[in-house]
Amino acid sequence: MSAFVTDARSAHAAGVERLLESYRSVPATDTVRLAKQTSNLFRARAKTNATGLDTSGLTDVIAVDPESRTADVSGMCTYEDLVDATLPFGLAPLVVPQLKTITLGGAVTGLGIESSSFRNGMPHESVLELDILTGAGEVITASPGEHADLFRAFPNSYGTLGYAVRLRIELETVKPFVALTHLRFHALADLVAAMDDIIETGRLDGVRVDYLDGVVFSADESYLCVGVQTVAPGPVSDYTGQRIYYRSIRHDGPAKGDRLTIHDYLWRWDTDWFWCSEAFGAQNPWIRRLWPRRHRRSSFYWKLMAYEQRLHIENRIEKLKGHPQRERVVQDIEVPIGRCAEFLDWFLTHVPIEPIWLCPLRLHDDGGWPLYPIRPRETYVNIGFWASVPVGSTEGETNRMIERRVRELDGHKSLYSEAFYSPEEFDELYGGQSYRDVKRRYDPDSRLLDLYAKAVQRR
């Protein structure tokens, strides 16, 4: 029997009605947008005075069904709230993006990834059906058998084909602990070869692997982080206080073990926003002791980053120091695993950013996702790098250089941050005519922004 059904479904229905009322109140000549309190986008947007849609009633877990291992979730529900609802049943989403305030709708329309992606793909592959508010102002249910064109085009559409109102997703059983092995490598080619072997066999030393990601600190210091679920009791580490997770990975020997609760494993990166909390001084031991624990989380760092983006604090400081201005390079890209070492060698030579996150993935659905057309059942590696570099002679010089290299290596990049593609390049990479056909059908009056306008022109 499902949990939380009656009251949650009634609250959800009321939230949908408020959403529709707010849609109907937007003048026909205005672009429709969401009114969101949080965001995980790193893309500047043009200012607008338009009233956003009311999503205040769409933040809850509607139901968890332990028997079918599914959950019905409102589109603006965060993964933090969903995990809190599923773990008591020994269940978790198939992919839990690494930051707590990422929403279910956001992870599907904007893509997501984590260390289970080498076996479970991306979050949208575990969606069984979803209700979408389209640009025409209708809430329709999309699934592989109903409005399948919208269902397939929705991932990576970033709200330009509609907004997820409700999602039904698959869950998987999980054990209470995760045993970690951090494997050190002195050559990137060796790391990639070991990663490929684990993915192909699903095992390390004969033991099933549940989670796999990695960190590159330099060309001769990199790690694979291998996670195995376990019921074995024992001491666990805590990286929500003074200890910092990514620093715990580093060691001199070939392998190092660790243990976390499943809850703390899923959120191991959130306390320090991977390693980006260092930019705010939160990794300084003296500051960290005074930093409230409730503010050691990505959502708070994001608020600080929003101030920086608005006030350009970093560039003001650099100017006072007589240093050049900075270009933000905050990107996640995917390349085929056979080109991974090649990209990393190039990146470490040309872009002064480290550490670098690695997360392998395989899409399993052969039906195709036209707005992010990476090949199913082939291994790609997500490579994430988040920092800034001195500006070049042209706007976005380093980001443009990375885009060119990713294309040369038959890769793609996520659209949550700045993009500099021409319309022709963008068409080739992100759906082109397939996108326009679905756009015309479900947003005939162009009430929602166009994907190129949103992702590249930053409207």
> What's the pLDDT tens digit per position in 117-141?
999 999 999 999 999 999 999 999 9
Q: What single DSSP character describes residue 174?
A: -
Span of 24-28, 95-99, 158-162, 442-446 with lowest mean pLDDT: 24-28
CA 332 to chain centre: 9
**What are φ and ψ of residue 142, in 5° steps?**
-115, 140
Q: Is the pLDDT of residue 31 over 90?
A: no
Q: How far is Cα 131 from Cα 142, in angstroms, rounded to an integer?
A: 6
What's the pLDDT tens digit per position in 355-412? 999 999 999 877 789 999 999 999 999 999 999 999 999 999 999 999 999 999 999 9
Q: Is the pLDDT of residue 454 over 60?
A: yes
**How many CA atoms within 13 Å lie on the side-chain side of 318?**
14
Q: CA torsion 284→285→290→291, rounded to 10°?
A: 50
Q: What single DSSP character describes residue 69?
A: T
Question: What's residue 49's pLDDT?
Answer: 59
Q: What is the mean pLDDT of residues 171-178?
A: 98
Question: What's residue 303's pLDDT?
Answer: 87
What's the pLDDT tens digit per position in 192-234? 999 999 999 999 999 999 999 999 999 999 999 999 999 999 9
Q: What single DSSP character describes residue 143?
A: B
- Residue 348, number of CB atoms within 10 A of its CB: 16
Helices 397-408 and 340-350 cross at an angle (nearest 10°) of 160
Q: Which two tokens stand for residue 214?
A: 């990695």
What's the pLDDT tens digit per position in 33-86? 876 655 556 655 555 656 689 999 999 999 999 999 999 999 999 999 999 999
Global pTM?
0.94
Q: Is the pLDDT of residue 159 over 80?
A: yes
Cis omega (within 30 of 0) on the bond before 355?
yes
Question: What's residue 459's pLDDT?
Answer: 80
CA 379 to chain centre: 18
Long-range CB contact pairs, 104-107, < 8 A, 24+:
104/73, 104/74, 104/75, 104/76, 104/77, 104/78, 104/79, 104/164, 104/167, 104/169, 105/75, 105/76, 105/163, 105/164, 105/165, 105/167, 106/40, 107/79
